[in-house]
C-alpha cells in the first residue's frame, strides 16, 4: 500500500542472509527466466543485483511494487519504460517508479550486464531457481 509516497508494507526477502561482504562470483545466481540471471545482495530496505542477460533475450512487459534504479556495465539493450523506448549502453542509467510497466530486449551479440537496485527488496526472488555460484561475465578478468 502507498501512502504519501511511501510503501507501507514490509516485504520478506526469505531465509537468505546476505553477508556484509560478498564477491559477485560467490553469489548463487537466481534464474529470473531462461537467459536472465541475477546475483542479489539484500539489505533491510533494498536489493542490489548484478543482472546478466544473454544475447537476444527478451523480458516481456511486467511491473512490480519495487522502485528500480540501474546502470549498464556491459553490452546494450532496448528498454521500454512506461511506453518510451530507448537503447541503453554502458554508463546509461534509469529510474523506474513503482508499478510502471517495462520490458527489455538484449540487442547486442554478447548480451549485457546491469547493476540494479530495488526498493523495497525483491522478496519475490526467494522462490526462483538458483544455480551454483560460478564466475559470471562481469567483472572482466
What is the mean predicted confidence (pLDDT) over 56-76?
96
Whether the Cβ atoms of residue 30 and residue 67 lie closer than 8 Å to each other: no
| 133 pLDDT higher than 60 | yes
Please, is 140 exposed, middle or buried when counting C-beta atoms within 10 Å of its C-beta (0-12, 13-18, 19+)? exposed
Give the per-residue pLDDT at 108: 76
DSSP state of 93: E
- Name the pLDDT band for 16 (thresholds 50, 70, 90): low
Phi, psi of 112 (to 5 degrees): -155, 160
Give the per-residue pLDDT at 2: 38
Average pLDDT, the chain: 87
Cα–Cα distance, 48 to 38 (Å, whole number): 9
What is the mean predicted confidence (pLDDT) over 58-71?
96
Give the per-residue pLDDT at 38: 97
**DSSP secondary structure string, 102-125?**
EEEE--STT-EEEEEEEES--GGG
| 136 pLDDT higher than 90 | no
Cα–Cα distance, 76 to 80 (Å, whole number): 13
CATH classification number, 2-130, choose in 2.30.30.90, 3.40.50.2300, 2.60.120.10, 3.40.50.11260: 2.60.120.10
Q: What are the pLDDT digits (tens) for 22-45?
A: 889 999 999 999 999 999 999 989
Q: What are the pLDDT digits (tens) for 86-130?
A: 999 999 999 999 999 999 999 878 899 999 999 999 999 999 999
Give the per-residue pLDDT at 8: 40
What residue ranges do the domains of the chain occupy? 2-130
Task: Give the position of cell 517508479.
Answer: 97
Amino acid at each position: 500500500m502507498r501512502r504519501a509516497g511511501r510503501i507501507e508494507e514490509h516485504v520478506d526477502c526469505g531465509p537468505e542472509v546476505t553477508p556484509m561482504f560478498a564477491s559477485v562470483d560467490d553469489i548463487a545466481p537466481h534464474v529470473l527466466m531462461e537467459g536472465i540471471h541475477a546475483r542479489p545482495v539484500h539489505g533491510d530496505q533494498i536489493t542490489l543485483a548484478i543482472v546478466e542477460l544473454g544475447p537476444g533475450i527478451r523480458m516481456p512487459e511486467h511491473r512490480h511494487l519495487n522502485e528500480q534504479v540501474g546502470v549498464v556495465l556491459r553490452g546494450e539493450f532496448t528498454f521500454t519504460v512506461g511506453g518510451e523506448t530507448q537503447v541503453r549502453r554502458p554508463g546509461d542509467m534509469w529510474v523506474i517508479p513503482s508499478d510502471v510497466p517495462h520490458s527489455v530486449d538484449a540487442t547486442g551479440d554478447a548480451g549485457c550486464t546491469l547493476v540494479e537496485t530495488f526498493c523495497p527488496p525483491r522478496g519475490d526472488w526467494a522462490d526462483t531457481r538458483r544455480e551454483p555460484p560460478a564466475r559470471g561475465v562481469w567483472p572482466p578478468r
